[in-house]
Amino acid sequence: MTPVETMTHESTAQNRRSNMNAQTLYDKCMALASNLWWSWNPEVINLFRDLDPIRWRQLDHNPIALLREFTPERLESRASEMVLYSRIHHAYRQLKQYLSSQQTWSTTNAGVLGSKPVAYFSAEFGIHESVPIYSGGLGVLSGDHIKSASGLGVPLVAVGLFYDQGYFKQRLDEHGYQVEEYVDTKVENLPVQHALDKDGNPITIKIETRTGHLLARVWLMSVGRVRLYLLDCDVEGNSPEDRSLTSRLYGGDERTRIRQELVLGVGGVRALSALGITPGVYHLNEGHSAFGPLEVIRERMTEDGMSFDDALREVARNTVFTTHTPVPAGHDRFGAEAVEEHLGPLRDALGISYEHLMGLGRVEPQNPHESFCMTVLGLKLSRRANAVSSLHGHVSRRMWAHLWPWRSEEEIPIGHITNGVHIPSWLAWQMQQLYDRHFPAGWANRMGEPEVWQKLYAVDDGELWETHNALKNLLTAFVRRRISRQCRRRGESDDVVETARNLLDPDVLTIGFARRFATYKRADLIMSDMDRLIQLLSNEERPFQLIFAGKAHPKDEPGKELIRRIANARHESALCNRVVFIEDYDINVCRHLIQGVDVWLNNPRRPLEASGTSGQKVVLNGGLNFSILDGWWAEAFDGNNGFAIGKGTAHVSDEIGDARDAESLFDVLENKVIPLYYQRDIDGLPRQWIRMMKHSIASLAWRFSSDRMVMDYARSCYKPAAGGVSCDMNFR
Ligand SMILES: *Cc1c(COP(=O)(O)O)cnc(C)c1O
């Protein structure tokens, strides 16, 4: 062999080795991107960002889409440039360890659930902005629920729908009017794979209706230790119309809705059977999936030869139902024909009459004028039902009292478990670092415990304040970037774009308001007295600024009108550019807002907010709540951990209530919030404000975490339901 040949030989081997290393590195990154565990682990997020910060942002923080733009070789060279090797290997080991760990809260506290998991059904899951299968609060709650179940090791599988267009993207036209855009999601950019049966074949489920049949395939998404199964009707064998049945979240008419819900409930139960999963508990998160237990009843009748009544009794014992809204229009209702068309074949298999089935969805079973209500069905097919805050519990018991006419209101068997948020998903990295410095080691596994958070009182005021202000600066930069982009897209003048680049003053008290633009949430309450608003906003010494965001349902014209009004505030010079509207509220926008605002405003018409969770996210990051005593805030506010609007009283009419609440809002803002924020000591620190921040975090963070929430569900719903304990639903 000549020296040259040797050299070539060696370098080929080196190449091969380096190719292999490159491939291994790439595979590890893909493995990290393929389990949504990464989405609540800042080290992994930072790692993806470091691969290409600009593309990371442009691709909606989607690591799979990002990695697909790399070859293994380019990834490797980027990794060596940025010294990422050890971080990638470390993150990968962490993930493996997490997935295989046997030591969890559940092993010691919920062992009874064992090999029969909880099946958690929800129409939407908000896990990360790059996985657009959610619209808002309900979805984010489901996402937080399964993330906490993963962390606590609660055996749980989740079932939802795969929307290939998801919910709409919001743009405002030059008049401030909302325009909806639907974007096709690329499956290859999502962390999904085909769910396989025990023989390794992809699963397709079939549902007969009176007029044909529906087919759905099943995707598997890994969310930490939890497997999320998503049903998708875009398959061969369905009519073109049915192929798009699961395209959009909350799109279409009554018929689309009932067909989607048939797929979610009945299809979901069939998918679990096809996967060989036998749940011990069925948790229906809202009424959308309430057809599901009917299919479980059918299975029990077939397998165990039971009568319908006996099977119903058994299945109801294993079923937990959570209701989420006190707004009557929020409860799905279907006409008798739609129900018979879609549930007819299942009804035949159950051997029950048309009247019997319809009666299950009615308060008065025999009343032919009553439509079929999914909430009523959920209540009748479960032995445990709950609302999502203490106040919502009271409202729900009153609302559904006529289902149990022989009971007094207090005895109505609907309890409550107050919603919470997944701390690792919503806590800013900078704030987490601060907590790491002061909290006991291993606190991340004990976030639901009050003692852990007491350490906060010992944190230096300046340290907390600086951390908060660093986050506020990030929010300011985000708002400027977004608003100038919005202006450029609308083709506005360079002057306007330039103004947008300098919007907001980080030294000014910043109030955020972001949520769905439903009229009962009264986004414009603060605009009900424009003179007073202008006077406060433009105060030379102690001004404040307002950031708005939120979508209106495409069919909600009054909601869109609210958006138009607020978005156009920027044209009013008297408002001094101190009111801004960020388009396309989603998990990403929410995260920036809740991590950076000083104050979070929430002013719904009481008691229409079942819980609300965005204010809980604010708490974690040091912002203060300024809210009507509704939903979670009614039980959270203690006089010193934030600000209350109104006294929690009922009003005779909306007009009077709106006027009183507006008066209280301005009163508290002018006399409490603003003075407290600007009252500084010689170090420039607002000591009283910081004291309130600390008290807010220490008294609320653990209580309104989804870890606490899932532990509550495990203890008072899942365990008894799995044991089939015939409890009277009264777990209040
Ligand atoms: C948390 C969250 C919500 C829920 O907030 P509410 O307080 O119920 O309004 C809605 N949308 C998004 C994107 C969220 O992240």
- Residues above pLDDT 70, as percent of the chain: 96
What are the φ and ψ backbone dihedral angles of 102, each rounded to 5 degrees?
-100, -15
**Plot region of 479 (φ>0 → left; ψ -120 to 50 → alpha; else → beta):** alpha
Mutating to test ligand 1, I would choose from 583, 614, 617, 630 the residue with most ligand atoms within 8 A of its C-beta, which is 614
- CB-CB contact of 432 with 42 (8 Å): yes
At 588, the amino acid letter reads N
Q: What does the pLDDT average to over 415-441?
A: 97
Among 556, 565, 546, 479, residue whose Cα is nearest residue 517: 556
- Which atom of ligand 1 is nearest the CA belonging to 134? 13
Split at pLDDT 50, 70, 90, the class of 330 is confident
The mean pLDDT value of the chain amounts to 94
- Which atom of ligand 1 is nearest the CA belonging to 515? 9
**How many CB atoms lie under 10 A from the CB of residue 437?**
10
Cis peptide before 607 (omega within 30 of 0): yes
- Give the chain's radius of gyration (CA, Å): 27
- Give the β-pairing of 372-373 and 333-334: antiparallel
Over 70: is that where the pLDDT of 7 sits? no
For the chain, helix (H) and strand (E) counts, in that order, are 32, 20
- Per residue in 204-238, pLDDT (tens digit) is 999 999 999 999 999 999 999 999 999 999 999 99
* CA 553–ligand 1 middle distance (angstroms): 14
The DSSP call for residue 116 is S
Task: Give first-to-last CA distance, the chain, whole Å.
Answer: 84
Residues 6 or more apart whose CB falls under 8 angstroms from that of 16 comprise: none
- Per residue in 624-669, pLDDT (tens digit) is 999 999 999 999 999 999 999 999 988 889 999 999 999 999 999 9
* Ligand 1 cavity residues, CB under 6 Å: 136-137, 140, 515, 585-587, 590, 612-615, 617
Q: Residue 480 and residue 398: Cα distance in Å, rounded?
A: 46
Residue-level pLDDT at 5? 47
CA distances from 668 to 529, 537, 566, 644 (A): 14, 15, 22, 8
Which parts of 164-291 fold into alpha helices (H)? 240-243, 254-262, 268-274
- Give the β-pairing of 118-121 and 281-285: parallel
Which parts of 387-512 fold into alpha helices (H)? 390-399, 423-426, 429-438, 450-454, 461-489, 494-501
* CA 590–ligand 1 middle distance (angstroms): 7
453: tokens are 């958070």
* CA 143–ligand 1 middle distance (angstroms): 12
Q: What does the pLDDT average to over 35-48?
A: 97
* CA 614–ligand 1 middle distance (angstroms): 5
Residue-level pLDDT at 250? 87
Assign domain 423-440+508-703 to a CATH class. Answer: alpha beta
Residue-level pLDDT at 528? 94
Q: List every span in the chain annotated with CATH 3.40.50.2000.
A: 111-419+712-721, 423-440+508-703
At 482, the amino acid letter reads R
* CA 617–ligand 1 middle distance (angstroms): 9
* CA 423–ligand 1 middle distance (angstroms): 14
- Per residue in 276-316, pLDDT (tens digit) is 999 999 999 999 999 999 999 999 999 999 999 999 999 99
Q: Residue 184 and residue 187: Cα distance in Å, rounded?
A: 9
At 611, the amino acid letter reads S
- Which atom of ligand 1 is nearest the CA belonging to 586? 13
The closest residue, in CA terms, to atom 9 on ligand 1 is: 515
Q: For Cα atoms 191, 194, 199, give the angle at the middle one, nearest 5 degrees.
A: 140
What are the φ and ψ backbone dihedral angles of 558, each rounded to 5 degrees?
-60, -35
Q: At what angle do helices 429-438 and 42-51 cross, to 10 degrees?
A: 140
Q: At what angle do helices 292-304 and 308-317 cross, to 10 degrees?
A: 120
- Per residue in 84-132, pLDDT (tens digit) is 999 999 999 999 999 999 899 999 998 888 889 999 999 999 999 999 9
Chain-centroid distance of CA 367 in Å reads 37
Over 90: is that where the pLDDT of 9 sits? no
The closest residue, in CA terms, to atom 5 on ligand 1 is: 614
Q: What does the pLDDT average to over 413-441?
A: 97
* CA 136–ligand 1 middle distance (angstroms): 5
Q: What does the pLDDT average to over 352-363?
A: 98
Exposed/middle/buried for residue 633 (C-beta within 10 Å: 0-12, 13-18, 19+): buried
Over 80: is that where the pLDDT of 2 sits? no
Mutating to test ligand 1, I would choose from 419, 422, 515, 705 the residue with most ligand atoms within 8 A of its C-beta, which is 515
What are the φ and ψ backbone dihedral angles of 554, each rounded to 5 degrees?
-50, -25
Exposed/middle/buried for residue 561 (C-beta within 10 Å: 0-12, 13-18, 19+): middle
Residue-level pLDDT at 11? 59
Token pair 């291994």: residue: 24
Task: Please list, residue by residue across 80-110, b when 16 or more beta carbons sit within 10 angstroms of its beta carbon and e when fewer do.
Answer: eeeebeebbeebbeebeeeeeeeebbbeebb
The closest residue, in CA terms, to atom 15 on ligand 1 is: 587
* CA 616–ligand 1 middle distance (angstroms): 10
Q: Which helix (H) or strand (E) holds 23?
A: helix 3-33
Residue-level pLDDT at 1? 43
Q: Residue 681 and residue 66: Cα distance in Å, rounded?
A: 48
The closest residue, in CA terms, to atom 2 on ligand 1 is: 137
- CB-CB contact of 536 with 670 (8 Å): yes
Which is the CATH superfamily of the domain at 111-419+712-721? Glycogen Phosphorylase B; (3.40.50.2000)
* CA 613–ligand 1 middle distance (angstroms): 6
Q: Which helix (H) or strand (E) holds 690?
A: helix 687-700
3-state helix, strand, coil in the chain (%, to 5): 50, 15, 35
Split at pLDDT 50, 70, 90, the class of 327 is confident
Residue-level pLDDT at 727? 46
* CA 550–ligand 1 middle distance (angstroms): 9
**How many CB atoms lie under 10 A from the CB of residue 707?**
25
Over 60: is that where the pLDDT of 190 sits? yes
Among 161, 214, 204, 160, residue whose Cα is nearest residue 341: 214
Chain-centroid distance of CA 531 in Å reads 37
The closest residue, in CA terms, to atom 4 on ligand 1 is: 137
At 202, the amino acid letter reads P
Residues 6 or more apart whose CB falls under 8 angstroms from that of 681 comprise: 687
Chain-centroid distance of CA 329 in Å reads 21
- Per residue in 55-64, pLDDT (tens digit) is 999 999 999 9
Residue-level pLDDT at 678? 98
**How many CB atoms lie under 10 A from the CB of residue 668?**
16
- CB-CB contact of 97 with 70 (8 Å): no
Least confidently predicted of 2-6, 157-161, 585-589, 610-614: 2-6
Residue-level pLDDT at 656? 95
- Per residue in 450-466, pLDDT (tens digit) is 999 999 999 999 999 99
Over 90: is that where the pLDDT of 251 sits? no
Chain-centroid distance of CA 497 in Å reads 33
461: tokens are 């005021």
- Which atom of ligand 1 is nearest the CA belonging to 516? 9
The closest residue, in CA terms, to atom 8 on ligand 1 is: 612
Q: Residue 599 and residue 468: Cα distance in Å, rounded?
A: 12
